[in-house]
């Protein structure tokens, strides 16, 4: 599992004074990208597309929360996809959001999914 601290921005908060639901997919995407960059390389090295995201909102994170922490782990690696389990933690460490995300390895030349190679599978599973 990897953790990434992400500073919040003024625009991440809504009129109710808490992080808007629309900010969370951005946090989750940043954390997945950081995980992939640390394991299989940058997007230029390991292009992928998001195929699915589910988010359960458990508690509000109120303004002026300066940052959230996103925990990211690989749940499974399929033929061409990687399923991530993620949590967004409020500043006090409580889980505010639980999410699943699926990315698919992408071949820019064919504009289609591609199989995940054995060496990539090993790196993703570590």
For residue 2, what pLDDT band results from cuts at 50, 70 and 90? very high
Which residues touch 73 (CB under 8 Å, ≥6 apart)? 1, 2, 84, 85, 86
* pLDDT above 90 (res 124): yes
* pLDDT above 90 (res 55): yes
For residue 125, what pLDDT band results from cuts at 50, 70 and 90? confident
| Residue 11, pLDDT score | 96
| Residue 7, pLDDT score | 98
Specify the CATH number for the domain of residue 75: 3.10.129.10
Q: Please, is 61 exposed, middle or buried when counting C-beta atoms within 10 Å of its C-beta (0-12, 13-18, 19+)?
A: buried
Residue-wise pLDDT tens digits, 71-97: 999 999 999 999 999 999 999 999 999
**Distances, alpha carbon 78 to alpha carbons 11, 74, 86, in Å:** 36, 11, 18
First vs last Cα of the chain: how many Å apart? 9
For residue 40, what pLDDT band results from cuts at 50, 70 and 90? very high
The count of domains in the chain is 1
Complete DSSP assignment for 89-104: E-TTS-EEEEEEEEEE
- Residues of the domain holding 90: 2-125
**Beta strand 112-113 with 2-7: parallel, antiparallel or unpaired?**
unpaired
pLDDT, average across residues 100-114: 98
| Residue 32, pLDDT score | 98
């Amino acid at each position: 599992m990897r953790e990434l601290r992400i500073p919040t921005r003024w625009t991440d908060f809504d009129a109710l004074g808490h992080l808007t639901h629309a900010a969370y997919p951005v946090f989750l995407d940043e954390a997945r990208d950081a995980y992939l960059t640390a394991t299989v390389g940058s997007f230029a090295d390991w292009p992928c597309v998001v195929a699915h995201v589910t988010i359960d909102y458990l508690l509000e994170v109120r303004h002026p929360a300066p940052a959230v922490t996103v925990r990211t782990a690989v749940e499974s690696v399929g033929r061409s996809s990687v399923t991530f389990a993620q949590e967004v933690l409020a500043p006090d460490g409580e889980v505010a959001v639980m999410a699943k995300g699926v990315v698919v390895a992408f071949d820019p030349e064919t504009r289609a999914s591609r199989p995940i190679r054995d060496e990539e599978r090993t790196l993703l599973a570590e």
